[in-house]
A and B are shown apart, each in its own frame.
Chain A
């Protein structure tokens, strides 16, 4: 758990967010195509979770009291693997195999193959239900870990998400935290045009959740939101709705549906790499 009295090293977090984006570029190149933009939208959220918030011990990936993180929007795993490697869950050299035959690392994460992945994901709409189960598991076994679940905004159209939202309130799962990566785009266009989700905050509130809405690229706001979470033994589930920009950090990708899945040619790769390092878009 975070200690609000600690000084947060924001320069370090910012540098790690760049690391996530550059690794996403690198790994996509190995695969030949990848989910750049939905990973870039979550980069700051990932780094605050893994370098600030989660109670973890990389030497014990099965530690029963660790905080759980479920990446319900599993297609952003490409941004999560490098963090797990960086923290020491596995040797980062293994990432060279990304998506190649026999690799542990696919586009969507497999908990049986990758240390540090708390649950396999990929089929949207399931992750919050997994989180409900994990939070109940904590209660039954008298453990005090928290469960964090990151969902996409397009994913909110899945009915099962709302079953889980109802259940989390009904079972009073104060240890459950949902993070909505509100990056505004689905595959076919703007989320609000495909299947509108707003008002997301009012909807969660109406279902009995505590709601915070923040700029999901502002490291200070993300840290502040997590620090403001009620204690895990409270009785109200909590959601952090993070307004983000799909493709954040690379101008040509920002809010462009054509970059949901893509691949950069060599020339563009160099240009995008340089743009990220310069930090112009951040």
Chain B
């Protein structure tokens, strides 16, 4: 047992302290789940809202949609899918720490007409379950929705085994798989609703469950594959996805104050990619920086680079993310600062990029 001595349960662990970081990692709301808003003292721009709303949203949708079932792998309390389980116990299945079996079984369930939503850490969904997603979900066209939470480095000091900085690259290489990244709880609700009409399999990348709000209400015009222009500008376009949309917006605001005119695209869907929005950004603003909580190889930056190369759009371009390394140990906020993935970091990156010309 000594090799497992760090925690009783190898994936979820049990927070040993009641520190804020622990709560942030494993809770979508405050410890008792009662308070939807936290951290208002930090200012509106950093208002944290529970983003693990999929369980609650699905519980509502399941009242009218008999296809919906929810699966998880010993993480129902971490990803709040127990919000669904409490209301629909007959349609909720905990598979234990056996992600491969869970994902394939979801495909089997889908083949009988159900629509399984499968939640686990992104590292285990995408990397441990890669072949199951590709061979059992995408290839046969099964309507399985993977809710891959705690993506990127949002698990902080839990370390690289629990980080997913490769999942966008891996997932977007799979044919017949929709790949999208939710930036906050409201967008996640819109994505879950839209997924009910989406054919085939979906990989939905989620953050840490306590993500600052980008959309103040649930967007009613959400469409997979159509990027959202959150702010217009003329000097450069930041194309961001998922957890980096909020800091990218904050960075753009700040840069505007200092005389830079910055467009921001929320490229929530990685596949199918909104090629038109990228081409427009290149031709209208003349420069593009991609920002993602992901490696710079093959992710959003790679996808945008492919478009620019294919279309012979030789504009100044930079991929910002994690550069081919396993990240340092530390709390998420410290990591974001170190890797310049918070707003000040993005400001610095854009400044350097524009100054270099």
Q: Which residues of A contact B (CB under 8 A)?
A: 64, 68, 70, 110-112, 118-120, 122-123, 126, 129-134, 136-138, 140-141, 143, 159-160, 163-164, 166-167, 170-171
B238 within 8 A of A: no
User: Per-residue 0/1 for B52-94: is the Cβ within 8 Å of any A Cβ (1 yes, 0 no)?
Assistant: 0000000000000010010000000000000000000011010
B108 within 8 A of A: yes
**What's the least CB distance linking B60 to chain A, in Å?**
18
* Distance A68 CA – B136 CA, assembled complex (angstroms): 16
* Distance A167 CA – B106 CA, assembled complex (angstroms): 13
Are B100 and A133 interface neighbours, CB within 8 A?
Answer: no
Which chain B residues border A132 with CB–CB below 8 Å? 101, 105, 108
Which of B69, B95, B105, B140 interacts with A120 by CB under 8 Å? B140
Q: Among residues 99 to 137 in chain B, which have CB atoms less than 8 Å away from a CB atom of chain A?
A: 100-101, 104-114, 116, 131-132, 135-136
Q: Which residues of B contact A (CB under 8 A)?
A: 66, 69, 90-91, 93, 95-96, 98, 100-101, 104-114, 116, 131-132, 135-136, 139-141
Take A64-B112, A167-B95 as given contacts and tell me if A140 and B100 are in contact as well, using a CB distance cutoff of 8 Å.
no
**What's the least CB distance linking A74 to chain B, in Å?**
11
Are B101 and A140 interface neighbours, CB within 8 A?
Answer: no
Which chain A residues border B132 with CB–CB below 8 Å? 126, 129
* Distance A268 CA – B288 CA, assembled complex (angstroms): 66
**What's the least CB distance linking A96 to chain B, in Å?**
25
Which chain A residues border B93 with CB–CB below 8 Å? 136, 171
Residue of B nearest to A158 (CB): B100
**What's the least CB distance linking A43 to chain B, in Å?**
26
**What's the least CB distance linking A254 to chain B, in Å?**
32
Label chain B's interface by main secondary structure: helix
Which chain A residues border B113 with CB–CB below 8 Å? 64, 137, 141
Which chain B residues border A136 with CB–CB below 8 Å? 69, 93, 105, 108-109
Are A140 and B91 interface neighbours, CB within 8 A?
Answer: yes
Which chain B residues border A171 with CB–CB below 8 Å? 93
Which chain A residues border B114 with CB–CB below 8 Å? 137, 140-141
- Listed from nearest, the 7 A-B pairs whose CB atoms lie closest are A133-B108, A137-B112, A163-B101, A129-B104, A133-B105, A130-B108, A163-B98
* Distance A136 CA – B93 CA, assembled complex (angstroms): 9
* Distance A78 CA – B90 CA, assembled complex (angstroms): 39
Are B69 and A140 interface neighbours, CB within 8 A?
Answer: yes
Residue of B nearest to A126 (CB): B104
Are A137 and B109 interface neighbours, CB within 8 A?
Answer: yes
* Distance A126 CA – B95 CA, assembled complex (angstroms): 15
Are B111 and A130 interface neighbours, CB within 8 A?
Answer: yes
Are B136 and A134 interface neighbours, CB within 8 A?
Answer: no
Are A133 and B140 interface neighbours, CB within 8 A?
Answer: no
Given A133-B116, A166-B96, 4 additional A-B pairs, CB 8 A? A68-B112, A159-B100, A164-B101, A167-B98
Residue of B nearest to A132 (CB): B105
Take A120-B139, A123-B135, A140-B69 as given contacts and tell me if A134 and B101 are in contact as well, using a CB distance cutoff of 8 Å.
no
Question: What are 9 A-B pairs at a CB distance below 8 A?
Answer: A119-B140, A120-B139, A123-B135, A130-B107, A130-B136, A136-B109, A141-B66, A141-B114, A167-B105
* Distance A175 CA – B95 CA, assembled complex (angstroms): 18
Which chain A residues border B69 with CB–CB below 8 Å? 136, 140
* Distance A134 CA – B91 CA, assembled complex (angstroms): 14
* Distance A159 CA – B132 CA, assembled complex (angstroms): 13
Which chain A residues border B100 with CB–CB below 8 Å? 129, 159-160, 163
Which chain B residues border A68 with CB–CB below 8 Å? 112
**What's the least CB distance linking A258 to chain B, in Å?**
29
Which chain A residues border B107 with CB–CB below 8 Å? 119, 130, 133
**What's the least CB distance linking A163 to chain B, in Å?**
4
**What's the least CB distance linking B101 to chain A, in Å?**
4
Residue of B nearest to A147 (CB): B108
* Distance A159 CA – B131 CA, assembled complex (angstroms): 14
Are A111 and B140 interface neighbours, CB within 8 A?
Answer: yes
Residue of A nearest to B97 (CB): A163
